[in-house]
A and B are shown apart, each in its own frame.
Chain A
Amino acid sequence: MENLRLLIPEIVLSAMALLLMLAELFIPRRHSRILLHLALLASAAALGTLGLAASNPAVYQGAGSLWVVDPMSLFFKVIVLAATILVLMLAVDARRDDDAHLGSFAGLILLASAGMMLLVSAVDLLMVFLSLELISISSFILVGFERGDIKSAEGALKYYLIGAFSSALMVFGISLFYGATGTTHLLKPVPQFGYASSALFLLSTLMMLAGFGFKISMAPFHLWVPDAYEAAPTPITTFLSIAPKAAGLAMMLRVFTKLIPHPALEMTALFSFLAMLTMTVGNLTAIRQNNIKRLLAYSSIAQAGYMLIGFVTADAFGREGVLLYALAYLFMNAGAFAVAIAIGNEEGYELEAYDGLAQRSLGLAVVMAFFLLSLAGIPPLAGFVGKFYLFGAAVQSGFYGLAVVAVLNSVVSVYYYMRVTYHMFFLPPRATAPAQMGLYLYSGLALAAVAVILIGVYPEPFLSVVKSSAEMIP
C-alpha cells in the first residue's frame, strides 16, 4: 500500500472507465457525447498526475514488486495518454451509425490505455501478461464495435484468433521462463546470463518475443493488422496504430535491451533480421493498397520496423531514437488518420475520395501532405529527425547493412505516400464542397500538424526530454 500512489493515473482511468459504463445507462442518447467528454477529462487528469510524478520524482517514482515508475515508463505513459486524448477528440467528430453504447466505447478505450500504462511499468512477467490481456480484450471488442457491419465482425474475429494464439504462445513462454529461472520477476534472476545458454530459457524468450511482436505488429506477426485496422471504427484504428505499439515497444525496450539484453543471448542477428523484414514487408505491401486505412495499416507496420532498429543497437543512442520516433510517430500517424476521418465521414476510405482535395480544402490537403511526407522521412519534418536518429544509431554501432536497407525502404515508402499526395494535388476533384470538420477534429489536426513541424524544425526541447527519459530505474 506504501507505494500505491505510483498507480494513481491508472486508478483514475480505470475508475472513470467503470463509471462511464454505468453512466451510459442513465444518460439520454442525444446527450451521450458527454461520455466522451468525461473520458477526455479523465485522460487529462491522468496526464496531470503524470506531470506530478515527473516533477516530484522522489515521491512519485520508484519500484514496487510488480511495477516500476521511472523516466522511461513516464515518457511512454505520456505518449499513451496523448494518443488516448487525440483519439477521443477524433471520436467526438467521427461519424457513427448510432450513439448507443458510447459509454462502453469510451470506457474500453480508457481500460485499454490503463492496460498500456501498466504494461510500460511492468517488471514481472505475470504483470506483463495481465496488462497485455487487458489491452487485447478491450481492443478485440473495440475492433468489432460496429456490430451491424459484417466486415467489422470478420476483422475482430481474425484479430481475436491470432491474438489468442499469440497470447497462448506467450503464456507458454512465461511458464518456460519460470521453469528455467524459478521466478517470473524480471528483476530477480540476477545471475541471468547463466541462463543465457540454456535452451529452455532461449525458447521462453522466443515465445515471449512472439507475444510482444503481435502487439507491435512485427513481421511475421503482423497479419491481423490490415484487416483489423480496416474493420475497426477509424478512431479505434488510430488508437491501435499508435498506443499499443508504443506500449509494446516500451515493454520490449525494457526487457530486451535492459533486463535480458539480446546481445547477451546472441539474438542480435535475429532482431536485425526482424527489423528489416518488418519494414520491407510493410512498405512493399503498402504499395498495392487503394484504401487509405489499409495503406496506413501497412505503413504502420513499416514504421514499427524502423523503430526496431533502436533495439538492434541496444544502447542508449538507439533507445533515445526509439523514444523520439515514437513521439514523432504519435503525431504524424494521428494526424494522417485525423484527415482520413475528416474525409471518410462523407466520402469513404478509398483513395479516390482524395481526388483534388487541394482544390476543395487546401489546408486539409497541405497538412495531410505534411503528415505523409513526415511518415516518409522527408526533412525538415518530425519523421526525418526520428529516422535520422535511428539510422544514425545503426551506423554508429556498425550496422551498415541495416541502415542501408532502412534508407532504401524509406525511398520505397515515398512511392506510396506520394500516391496519396498525387490524388490530392494532381487529380480533378469529384465534389466541389470543402470537407466538413468538427471543432474537436480540427483542433486535433492542428495540434498534430504543429507538433510535426515543430519537432522537425526545432527538435531541441523534444530531444532533451527524450534524453532524460531514456533512463530506467533497475
Chain B
Amino acid sequence: MIKHVHWIALLPLIASVVILLGSRDNTEKSRLPLLGVAVMGWCLLHSLLILAGVLSGRAEVPFYRTLPWFEFGGFEMTLGVLIDGTAAFMLVVVTLVSFLVQVYSLGYMHADPRFKRYFAYLSFFSASMLGLVISSNLMALFACWELVGVSSYLLIGFWFEGDAPAYAGKKAFITTKLGDLGFFVGLLLLFAYAQTFDLKMLPLHFQMGPGHMPAWVPTAVGVLLLCGAAGKSAQVPLFVWLPDAMEGPTPVSALIHAATMVAAGVYLVARTYFIYQAAPMALEAVAWVGLITAALAATMAVAAYDIKRVLAFSTVSQLGFMMLGLGVGGYTSGLFHLTTHGCFKALLFLCAGSVIHAVHTNDMRQMGGLSKKMPETFITMLIGAFAIAGFPFLSGWFSKEAILHDVYRFSPAMWCAALATAALTAFYMFRLVFLTFLGISRDHPRWEHAGESPPVMTVPLWILAALSIFAGLALEHNGIFAGAVCFGPAAAAEGAEAVAHAPNWLAWGAVGAFALGLAAAWRLYGTGDLSLASSLKRSLAGVFDILEDRYGFDRFFLALVRASDSLAAALYWFDSNIIDAIFVDGWALATRALAEVQRFFDDFFVDGAVDGVGALTRDGGLGLSRLMAGKVQEYLLFVALAVSLFATFIMTR
C-alpha cells in the first residue's frame, strides 16, 4: 500500500486538469466535480490504510524511495517520497479535511457560476499540499509550497466580482512570498554547505558536529526557514494576510486557511527539526515567534466582529501554539495539536459557513438567537468550541495539555503567558458562539429567513464533530500518537519520562483557564444582555482601537508597499523625464545648438570668406580661366595630377 503513496499526490493533479479542461459546462450540471470528490475519497482511504500500516508496524517507516531527478552543480538531486509517522498523520489530516470540504462544497457552492472551476482549483490545491507532505526533498517541497500558494491565491480571489477578494488574494500571495524569500535563501545556504536537499541525507550533515560546517550555518538556515514557515503559517509579523484571506469561500477557508496549508509552516519546521536540534538559538526563536503570535492573535480575536475573522485570528493563535510547542522541544505535542486542530478548526469554519449560508452576512452583530433556527449547526459548533477551548477529554484538551507541559519544562514564565492565551481562547470562542446562537436576534429579517443547511453540508459537520470529541482520546490512548510521531527514539523516551515527572496541578491550570474564559464570556455575552460588554468597550476604547488596528502591522506593511511603490514611481519618473531629457531632448538640443553655432559661423565667416574669396577669385579667375578653359574634365585632370604628385612625394620620401 505504502509503495503507491505517490499516487496520493498525482491522482488529484490529474483530476484537477481533467475537471478544468474536461467540459465546457461550468455550472453545477457538470458531473466532473464528482470525479474530484471520488479521487479525494480514494486518497483518504489510501492514507488511512497507510496510517494503519504505520501504527500497526506492518509498514516499515520511514519509507523512503527516490528517483534521480537532475544533477545540479555536480550533485545528484532526487525526487521521491519519505513517509514517517508525522507524514502519515499529516496525510490523513489533509485528505480527510479535503474530502469533507469537497463534499460540503457540493452544497455550499451549488449556485455558483464557476462551480466546475472551483473544484478544479480545490483538487489542484490538494495535489500540491499532498505533494508537499510526502516529498523527500526540500527542493520539491519548496516547489509544492509555491504551488500551494498559487492555488490559495486563486481560491481566495475566487469571488472576484467584489474588489476585496482579489485584493486579499494578492495580499496573501505577496506576503507569503516575502517569507519565502527567507526559505529560498535558506535553501541556497543549505546547498552551499550540505550539497543536498534530501531529507534523509541532510540530518547526517547536521549531526557531524561543528567541524563539518561553520557554527553559524545551522542557526542561519533555521532562522531563514522559520521566515518561510512564518509566512505560510501566518506568524508574527507576516500574519496580516490570513484575516483578509477570509474573503474566499468559507469551505476554502476551512480547508486551506485553517486545517492544511497554514499548517505547512509547522510541518516544515517539523520536517527540518534536525536543523533546529543543531541550532538551539533558532529553536528558541521558533518558540518566541509562536508565543508572541499566539498571544497577539488571541487578543485581536476578542475585538473582531466578523465571524470568520474571529476564527482566522484563532487559527493564527493556535498555529502559534504549535510553533511554541515545537520551539520548546515538544516535537510530538506540537504535531499532536496540528492534528487535532485540523479537525476542530475545519469543523468551526464549516459551521461558520453554514451560518453564513443561512443569514448571508459575516457580521455577528446582525446574528443572534440562531440556535433555534439551525440546531445541528449550533450543537456541532458548540462541540468545536469546547474542543478548541480545551474542555477536558475533548481532543483539544489533550494536545494543548501536552504543549503546556512542554512549555512548563522549558520556562515557567512562558507557560504563564501561554496559559493566559488559553484563557483568552476560551473567551473569544464562546463570545462567538453566544453572539451568534444565543440571545435575541439582532436583525430580524435575516433571522426569519435563516434555516438549517442541507444534509450534504451537515453530515460533514457531524463527522468532524465526532472526531473533535474522540480523536484526542483515541490517539492519546496507549501513546499511539507519541509512538508514531517522535523525533528520534531518545527524545521519545525522555519525553515520556518528563511527562511522568511533571507536577500534577499543571493539568488543572488549563482547565482553570478554560473555566475562566467561559465564565467571562457568559457574563458578557451569554445572557442576551450586552450592556456590560458595550460599556466595557466604551471605557476601553483606546485598547479596542489598537486591537482593531491589528497593532498597526497592516499599516506597517502598507507603508512598506507604498515606499517601494514611490521608489518605483521615482525611478520611472527619472527614466522617462531626466534620462529622456538628457539623452533624447538633450541630444536634440545639443545638435540644434551646434547647428546654430555652425550657421552663425557659416554666415559670418564661411560665407563672408566665400564671398570675399569669390570676389577675389572672380577677378583673378578671369585671368586663370583663360588658362584652364573652364572644362570639368580638366579640373578633374588637375586634381588627379595633384594627388599623384602628393602620393609620389610621400612614397619616395
Contact = CB atoms under 8 A, between A and B. Distances in A.
B202 interface: no
Interface stretch (A66-74, A84-92, A403-411): A403-411
A161 B153 CA distance: 44
Given A288-B569, A396-B73, A426-B160, A380 B143 contact: yes
Nearest to B569: A288
Interface stretch (A34-42, A200-208, A244-252, A459-467): A459-467
A411 B177 contact: yes
Given A223-B579, A411-B180, A422 B166 contact: yes
B185 A404 contact: yes
B565 A287 contact: yes
Interface string A349-385: 0000000000000110010000001000011100011
A394 B73 CA distance: 12
Interface in B553-611: 564-565, 567-569, 571-572, 575, 579, 583-584, 587
A428 B161 contact: yes
Contacts of A415: 174
A162 B173 contact: no
B40 to A, nearest CB: 22
B160 A395 contact: no
A44 interface: no
Given A362-B20, A418-B174, A425-B160, A288 B568 contact: yes
A16 B564 CA distance: 49
A218 B344 CA distance: 54
Interface centre among B150, B166, B185, B188, by most A CB within 10 Å?
B188
Interface of B: 20-21, 68-73, 139-140, 142-143, 146-147, 150, 153-154, 157, 160-161, 165-166, 169-170, 173-174, 177-178, 180-181, 184-185, 187-189, 191-192, 564-565, 567-569, 571-572, 575, 579, 583-584, 587
Contacts of B174: 411, 414-415, 418
**Nearest 7 CB-CB pairings of A with B:** A379-B143, A426-B160, A426-B166, A460-B70, A380-B143, A287-B568, A395-B188
A259 interface: no
A285 interface: yes
Nearest to A356: B160
Contacts of B165: 426
A452 to B, nearest CB: 14
A317 B73 contact: yes
Contact of A379 (B142, B170, B189, B568): B142
A403 B185 contact: yes
Contacts of A378: 146, 150
Judged by DSSP, the binding face of A is helix
A380 B147 contact: yes
6 contacts: A284-B567, A317-B73, A391-B188, A392-B72, A393-B73, A411-B174
Contacts of B564: 284, 287, 412
A281 interface: yes
Nearest to B183: A407
Contacts of A435: none
A158 interface: yes
A378 B174 CA distance: 12
A373 B150 contact: yes
A284 B571 contact: yes
Contact of B583 (A161, A287, A394, A425): A161
B572 to A, nearest CB: 4
B177 A414 contact: yes
Given A284-B564, A284-B567, A287-B565, A379 B71 contact: no
Contacts of A379: 139, 142-143, 146-147
Contacts of A389: 72-73
Nearest to B565: A287
B72 A463 contact: yes
A427 B166 CA distance: 9
Given A223-B575, A379-B146, A463 B583 contact: no
Interface of A: 158, 161-162, 223, 226, 281, 284-285, 287-288, 317, 320, 362-363, 366, 373, 378-380, 384-385, 388-389, 391-396, 403-404, 407-408, 410-412, 414-415, 418, 422, 425-428, 458-460, 463-464, 467
Nearest to B145: A379
Contact of B568 (A226, A285, A407, A464): A285
Nearest to B169: A426
B289 to A, nearest CB: 20
A460 B568 contact: no
B146 A403 contact: no
Given A162-B583, A287-B564, A378-B150, 10 more contacts: A161-B584, A223-B575, A284-B571, A288-B569, A379-B146, A380-B140, A395-B188, A411-B177, A463-B70, A463-B72
Contact of A395 (B139, B140, B192, B571): B192
B171 to A, nearest CB: 11
Contacts of A388: 72, 139, 187-188
Contact of A458 (B69, B178, B583): B69
Given A158-B584, A425-B157, A407 B184 contact: yes
A226 B353 CA distance: 48
A396 B192 contact: yes
A418 B175 CA distance: 13
Most B CB contacts (10 A, CB to CB) among A285, A396, A418, A428 go to: A285
Contact of A392 (B21, B161, B188, B568): B188
Nearest to A373: B150
A422 B170 CA distance: 8
Contacts of A162: 583
A389 B73 CA distance: 8
A427 B160 contact: yes
Given A395-B188, A395-B191, A223 B571 contact: no
Most chain A CB atoms below 10 A, which of B21, B177, B178, B181: B177
Contacts of A467: 71
Contacts of B571: 281, 284-285
A408 B564 CA distance: 12
Nearest to B114: A359
For A158, A395, A427, the residue with the greatest tally of chain B CB atoms inside 10 Å of its CB is: A395
Contacts of A362: 20-21
B426 to A, nearest CB: 38
Contacts of A459: 69-70
A6 B147 CA distance: 46
A44 to B, nearest CB: 29
Contacts of B587: 161
A391 B185 CA distance: 9
B68 A460 contact: yes
A391 B142 CA distance: 15
A408 B157 CA distance: 25
Contacts of B569: 288
Nearest to A379: B143
Contacts of B572: 285, 288
Contacts of A463: 70-72
B583 A414 contact: no
B157 A426 contact: yes
Contacts of B146: 378-380, 384
A133 B142 CA distance: 44
Contacts of B568: 284-285, 287-288
B173 A418 contact: yes
A404 to B, nearest CB: 6
Contacts of B157: 422, 425-426
